[in-house]
Amino acid sequence: MLVVGAGLSGLIAARELQKNGISTAIVDKGPSVGGRLATRRIAGGVADHGAQFFTARTNIFKAEIDEWLSEDLVRIWGYGWSDGSLKRTVSDGHPRYVTNGGMNKLAKHLAKDIQDLEVDVRVTDISWIEDHWQVKANNHAAFHSQVLLMTPPVPQSLELLSKVTLAPEDRSALQRIQYGPCICGIHVIDGEVTLPEPGAVQNFVEPVYWIANNKAKGITDRTILTAHASSNWSRSHFDMPDEEILTFLHEAIKPYLGANATIAEDQIKRWRYSVPLITHPRDTLIARGLPLVFAGDAFGGRGRIEGAYMSGLEAAKSIMEIFA
């Protein structure tokens, strides 16, 4: 069994498969695990520049979060965000969870218990040869596997599977899935910031819909803001030069800088696939006529971290039921 992608869905699937005695390898193209659970080091501090927090609606995910809380891996950051009009956020009663030390720590924690995990392995070519998958990677490695689980964002998975004949219904269901891009600014601030408690604003009508203080979030001692531009703005400005993007992001964060605060340093990250906008209704897609399963946050209609988690879990269950 081979899992492509060690983001949350791939890690959860690999963990469950291995726990149940299914021999499973997992590879990721990144230098580290986590995918969009991304935390960056900057100016002696850290900032989450992918997923910012997570919520839970299903009892299954809530039960896992309870474990993570007891291990001091995650904690509650707050119960809602101001849209920028209030100094203090009014609670909506739903906990927003963050990972201590940054979101990527959650992925690293899960990866600790997973065997046969390789990073820096970019899959470049996938073929179905008679009775097994042959998966080639940039490091000249070739993996042979009976069953394949694909967890990259679906357009990337489809590109990797371009040589494989998928049933037309499956191909069109997968092609319907869409993600929004996100241009993210990471801004190191000298001085005070005035974001409403607990330290973030979220306002989906604004072209920069999310501004958060990683220090207030409790993951770093340095004041570092993360700013996310909306999908619409990011799509139409994706190739804009960095300098112009920074000018735009600086205007958005300016109202939240204290009187003497200055921006010491910034970085930009462009996410081509940030969150799914059109999802597949089921938690996974099991290809017709091939031992091939697709999973990730775009499956199950939930999106986001909880969607990735539930999809990974369901993928492992289906693989054990159908193929093991």
Ligand X SMILES: Cc1cc2nc3c(=O)[nH]c(=O)nc-3n(C[C@H](O)[C@H](O)[C@H](O)COP(=O)(O)OP(=O)(O)OC[C@H]3O[C@@H](n4cnc5c(N)ncnc54)[C@H](O)[C@@H]3O)c2cc1C
From the list 45, 50, 102, 185, which residue makes contact with ligand X (rule: CB under 6 A)?
A: 50
Cβ atoms of 17 and 319 closer than 8 Å: yes
Beta strands in 29-122 (DSSP E): 39-42, 45-48, 74-78, 96-99, 117-118
Q: Which of residues 197-226 bind ligand X (CB under 6 A)?
A: none
Mark out the alpha helices in the chain (DSSP H runs).
Answer: 8-19, 59-70, 104-111, 154-160, 168-176, 231-236, 242-253, 304-322
Residue 3 in contact with ligand X, rule: CB under 6 A: no
Cβ of residue 318: shortest distance to ligand X, in angstroms? Answer: 16
In angstroms and rounded to an integer, the radius of gyration of the C-alpha atoms of the chain is 20
Q: Which of residues 132-191 bind ligand X (CB under 6 A)?
A: 151-153, 156, 160, 182, 184
Residue 35 in contact with ligand X, rule: CB under 6 A: yes
Give one word for 140, left, alpha or beta, with left for phi > 0 and alpha for psi -120 to 50: left
CA gap 161, 293 in Å, rounded: 12
The stretch among 35-43, 66-74, 185-193, 244-252 that binds ligand X (CB under 6 A) is 35-43
Cβ of residue 262: shortest distance to ligand X, in angstroms? Answer: 25
Q: Read off φ and ψ for residue 292, nearest 5 degrees.
A: -140, 125
The pattern of x and - marking residues 281 through 300 that bind ligand X according to CB under 6 A reads ---------------xx---
CA gap 309, 297 in Å, rounded: 8
The stretch among 4-12, 86-94, 285-293, 313-321 that binds ligand X (CB under 6 A) is 4-12
Residue 308 in contact with ligand X, rule: CB under 6 A: yes
Residues that bind ligand X (CB under 6 A): 4-10, 27-30, 35-37, 50-54, 122-123, 151-153, 156, 160, 182, 184, 228, 271, 274-275, 296-297, 304-305, 308
